Amino acid sequence: MTPLPVNGLETLPRYSAGSHELDGITTPIVLSANENPRGPSPKAVAAIQDHAADVHRYPNGNPEDLKAAIIDRYDLAAHQGEVILGAGSDEILSLLAKGFASAGKTVMMSQYGFLMYPIAAKAAGAEIQSIPEQNYLADVEAILAAVTEDTALIFLANPNNPTGSYLNQTEITRLYQGLPDHVLLVLDGAYSEYVDRADYSDHHDLVASGRVVVTHTFSKAHGLAGLRLGWAFAPPAIADIYERLRSPFNINALSIKAGIAALADQTYLEETVRLNAEQRARLQQSLAELAINVLPSVGNFLLLDFGSREAASNAEKTLLKGGIIVRGMTGYGLPHCLRLTIGLPEENTAVLQALKQIAP
């Protein structure tokens, strides 16, 4: 008999990432993974170069300088909680599921939530429960109604990937207040830097309750996806479990230096957010003029609804022919949609030119 995996892991779905390669095209336009099309801050690049020769040394397993920079930039001193670090926020999501869910427990997510949530839940041995959305928006009422004493954890991305929608402060507060004390609410703020709405909050204030964690990443607005650096603001008791579970050197030495440099370059971040908002508005308007249905988005990506699987697949083929890679949405249960990362102005021009060919 061969060794058997636990928890039915042989049926665990594998995460399928947005593609970066296109046969026959050396430099395709990659708009498939919600990365920062401007790249990282030059200051982050310089920090990586400055420390490249030091990588024979183990990293600092508890980089207080990076944590202090995060606390400073995200105004966390005003709130009660601790910063934890992960190899991408993916690692934090997975270890929170491992630490707080198990066989016999349920992890809840919204219908079109991020695909890592079911993987993290099932890897921990827990059941995943997906709550139907209303108009591509998480339904607070339905989530609260579905909670039982077996509900261990709720993953909620705000803004959500791939829909681009968000719940305002009132709705998040209603969700938090309606949850019983035994449920850990994980608010995933991977795209929070991009949101420019007055009624949005990343809700670091709720962490003081002891039952809310807010996760963030350097992979999106900070342009460091390849380094794998994520963080979360967590209650001390939850941070303590995380610190016991993580491997001692989960954050690599270059990401510590690059993360600090990226946080110090606020001008670069602001320009990233400004350009994204400008190009998001431009694409929304131009796509509407092509009679393509675009969902409202507060993130760095747009969900395009082509009405049918065939039409979406046709649009994807047309884009690929133009050297443009977007993200098919079949894995998310949205085969009639494509997700488009907002690119540089010239990349977006190429997208619009390609899509003009299929406009009715």
Ligand X SMILES: Cc1ncc(COP(=O)(O)O)c(C=O)c1O
Q: Which stretch binds ligand X (CB under 6 A): 54-62, 72-80, 82-90, 289-297?
A: 82-90
Nearer to ligand X, 229 or 354 (CB): 229
161 binds ligand X (CB under 6 A): yes
Q: Looking at 32, 41, 89, 110, which residue binds ligand X (CB under 6 A)?
A: 89
Site string for ligand X, 278-307 (x = CB under 6 A): ------------------------------
Nearer to ligand X, 59 or 164 (CB): 164
SS3 276: helix
User: CB of 116 within 8 A of CB of 123?
Assistant: no
Q: Write out the binding residues for ligand X, residues 230-269 only, by CB under 6 A.
A: 230
Nearer to ligand X, 40 or 88 (CB): 88
What span, in angstroms and rounded, lies between the C-alpha atoms of 131 and 44? 40
Q: Which stretch binds ligand X (CB under 6 A): 83-91, 192-200, 256-264, 310-318?
A: 83-91
Give the C-alpha distances (Å, rounded to integers) separating 249 from 100, 219, 260.
22, 19, 17
Describe the crossing of helices 89-100 and 116-123 by its angle, rounded to 10 degrees.
40
- The strand pairing partners of 336, in sequence order, are none
Q: Write out the binding residues for ligand X, residues 107-126 only, by CB under 6 A.
A: 114
Nearer to ligand X, 168 or 314 (CB): 168
Q: Write out the binding residues for ligand X, residues 22-61 only, by CB under 6 A.
A: 34
222 burial type by CB count under 10 A (0-12 exposed, 13-18 middle, 19+ buried):
buried
With residues binned 3-state (H G I as helix, E B as strand, rest as coil), the percentages for the chain, rounded to 5, are 40, 15, 40
226 burial type by CB count under 10 A (0-12 exposed, 13-18 middle, 19+ buried):
exposed
Nearer to ligand X, 139 or 188 (CB): 188
Q: Write out the binding residues for ligand X, residues 307-326 only, by CB under 6 A.
A: none
Q: Which stretch binds ligand X (CB under 6 A): 40-48, 87-95, 140-148, 274-282?
A: 87-95
Cβ-proximal residues to 97 (8 Å cutoff; 6+ apart), any chain: 107, 120, 121, 123, 124, 126, 153
- The strand pairing partners of 301, in sequence order, are 341
Residue with the CB atom nearest ligand X in the bound state? 88
217 binds ligand X (CB under 6 A): yes
Q: What is the largest CA-CA distance in the chain?
A: 62
164 binds ligand X (CB under 6 A): no
Q: Which stretch binds ligand X (CB under 6 A): 84-92, 164-172, 326-334, 351-359?
A: 84-92
Closest CB 23 distance from ligand X, rounded Å = 24
Tokens 């649009």, located at residue: 315
Q: Which stretch binds ligand X (CB under 6 A): 73-81, 88-96, 102-110, 165-173?
A: 88-96
Closest CB 139 distance from ligand X, rounded Å = 18
User: CB of 153 within 8 A of CB of 123?
Assistant: no
- Backbone torsion region of residue 306, taken as left when φ is above 0, otherwise alpha when ψ lies between -120 and 50, otherwise beta: alpha
194 binds ligand X (CB under 6 A): no
Q: Looking at 83, 137, 143, 157, which residue binds ligand X (CB under 6 A)?
A: 157
Q: Looking at 154, 187, 190, 312, which residue binds ligand X (CB under 6 A)?
A: 190
Of the candidates 294, 298, 296, the one whose C-alpha atom is nearest the C-alpha of residue 326 is 294
Q: Which stretch binds ligand X (CB under 6 A): 201-209, 217-225, 277-285, 340-348?
A: 217-225
Task: Identify whether 162 is preceded by a cis peptide bond (ω within 30 of 0).
Answer: yes
Closest CB 183 distance from ligand X, rounded Å = 19
Cβ-proximal residues to 267 (8 Å cutoff; 6+ apart), any chain: none
90 binds ligand X (CB under 6 A): yes
Q: Looking at 106, 151, 219, 276, which residue binds ligand X (CB under 6 A)?
A: 219
Report the interface residues with ligand X, using CB under 6 A: 34, 88-90, 114, 157, 161, 188, 190, 217, 219, 225, 230
